[in-house]
Amino acid sequence: MSEFDAALGGFLISALRSSTPLLWVLLGEILTQRVAVVNLGVEGQMLAGALAGFAATLATGNPWIGLIAGVAAGMALSSLHGLLCVGLKANPFASGLAVWMLGFGLSSFYGIPFVGQKINGFKSMPLGFLERIPVIGTLVTQITPTVAMGILASPLLGWWLYRTRTGLSFRAVGESLSSAKALGLKTAWVQVMGIMAGGAFSGMGGAALSVDYTRNWVEGMTQGRGLVAVGLVIVARWNPYLAIPAALLFGGAEALTLRMQTSGVPISSHLLHTLPYLASLAVLVLSYSRANKEGGTPAGLSAVFSQSQ
Amino acid sequence: MIVPLIKEPPKPAALFKQPFRIPGLTVIAAALGFLLLGSIFFLMVGQPPVATFWAMIKGAFGDGYSLSETLVKTAPILLCGIAAALPARLGLISVGGEGQLYFGALFGTGLVLAIPGAPMYAMLPLMLAASAAGGALWALIPAFLKARMNVNETITTLLLNYVASLFVDFLVYGPWKDPNNLGWPATINFPAAAKLPALFGTRAHIGLIFGLIAAVALYVLTARTRWGTCLRLLRSNRRVAEGIGLSYGRQAILVVCLGGMLAGLAGICETSAIQGRLQSGISNGMGFSGFLVAWMAGGDFLRIIPLSLLLGGLLASGDSLQLFAGLPSSAALVLQGVLFASVLAAGSLKARKGGDRV
Q: Give the CA dihedral A268, A273, A276, A281, nearest 10 degrees.
A: -90
Q: Which residue of B has its CA nearest to A83?
A: B345
Q: Which residues does chain A have within 8 Å of residue B337's beta carbon, measured at their own beta carbons?
A: 98-106
Using the beta-carbon criterion (under 8 Å), do B159 and A98 form an inter-chain contact? no
Give A234 to chain B, closest Cα distance, Å: 11
pLDDT at B326: 83
Q: For B87-130, what is each residue's pLDDT tens digit?
A: 999 989 999 999 999 999 999 999 999 998 889 899 999 999 99
pLDDT at B307: 94
Segment B62-80 mean pLDDT? 92
Residue B221 clears pLDDT 90, i.e. is over it: yes
Q: Which residue of A has its CA nearest to B15?
A: A91
Which of A99, A109, A281 has its CB closest to that of B328? A109
Using the beta-carbon criterion (under 8 Å), do A106 and B334 form an inter-chain contact? yes
pLDDT at A5: 67
Q: DSSP string covering B19-42, please?
A: TTSSHHHHHHHHHHHHHHHHHHHH
Give me the phi and psi of A210, to 5 degrees please. -85, -35
pLDDT at A53: 96
pLDDT at B318: 84
- Alpha carbon of residue A161 to chain centroid: 17
pLDDT at B358: 30
Q: For A238-252, what is each residue's pLDDT tens digit?
A: 999 999 999 998 888
Q: How far apart are the two ends of chain B, measured CA to CA in Å?
A: 29
CA distance B153 to B95: 8
Q: What percent of chain A has pLDDT over 70?
A: 90
Which of A83, A230, A292 has its CB closest to that of B155? A230
Q: Each residue's pLDDT tens digit in chain A (309 positions)? A: 466 766 777 788 889 999 999 999 999 999 999 999 999 999 999 999 999 999 999 999 999 999 999 999 999 999 999 999 999 888 888 999 999 999 999 999 999 999 988 888 887 666 666 667 766 666 777 788 899 899 999 999 999 999 999 999 999 998 888 888 888 888 999 999 999 999 999 999 999 999 999 999 999 999 999 999 998 998 888 999 999 999 998 888 888 888 888 887 788 888 988 988 999 899 888 888 777 776 667 777 776 665 543
pLDDT at B45: 87
Q: What percent of chain B has pLDDT over 90?
A: 53
Q: Which residues does chain B have within 8 Å of residue A227's beta carbon, measured at their own beta carbons?
A: 155, 158-159
Q: For A134-169, what is each residue's pLDDT tens digit?
A: 666 667 777 888 998 999 999 999 999 999 999 999
Segment B134-162 mean pLDDT? 93
Q: What percent of chain B has pLDDT over 70?
A: 91
Q: Which residue of B has its CA nearest to A230?
A: B155
Instruction: Kindly report the CATH class assigned to A3-306.
Output: mainly alpha
Segment B12-37 mean pLDDT? 70
Using the beta-carbon criterion (under 8 Å), do A104 and B337 form an inter-chain contact? yes
Q: Which residues does chain A have within 8 Å of residue B292's beta carbon, measured at their own beta carbons?
A: 97, 101
Q: How many residues does chain A have?
A: 309
Residue B314 clears pLDDT 50, i.e. is over it: yes
Give B25 to chain A, closest Cα distance, Å: 16
Q: Which residues does chain A have within 8 Å of residue B161's beta carbon, measured at their own beta carbons?
A: 224
Using the beta-carbon criterion (under 8 Å), do B149 and A289 form an inter-chain contact? yes
Q: Select from B76, B61, B21 the least CA-distant residue to B267.
A: B76
pLDDT at A305: 66
3-state SS, one letter per residue, for B130-181: HHHHHHHHHHHHHHHHHHHHCCCHHHHHHHHHHHHHHHHHHHHHCCCCCHHH
Q: Which residues does chain A have within 8 Å of residue B155's beta carbon, measured at their own beta carbons?
A: 227, 230-231, 284
Task: State chain B's mean pLDDT as an integer.
Answer: 87
Give A294 to chain B, closest Cα distance, Å: 14
Which of B95, B163, B358 has its CB closest to that of A274? B163
Using the beta-carbon criterion (under 8 Å), do A105 and B333 form an inter-chain contact? yes
Which of A90, A230, A268 has its CB closest to that of B345? A90
Which of A89, A100, A223 has its CB closest to that of B348? A89
pLDDT at B23: 60
A residues 207-266 lying closer than 8 A (beta carbon) to B: 219, 223-224, 227-228, 230-231
Q: Are A198 and A99 in contact (CB under 8 A)?
A: no
- The domain spans of chain A are 3-306
Complex ipTM tops 0.90: no
- Alpha carbon of residue A299 to chain centroid: 23
Which of A83, A223, A308 has its CB closest to that of B91? A308
- Cα within 13 Å of Cα(A242), Cβ side: 12
Give A143 to chain B, closest Cα distance, Å: 29
Using the beta-carbon criterion (under 8 Å), do B159 and A228 form an inter-chain contact? yes
Q: Which residue of B has its CA nearest to A88?
A: B348
pLDDT band at B20 (very low <50, low <70, confident <90, very high): very low
Burial class (CB in 10 A: 0-12, 13-18, 19+), A10: middle
pLDDT at A196: 96
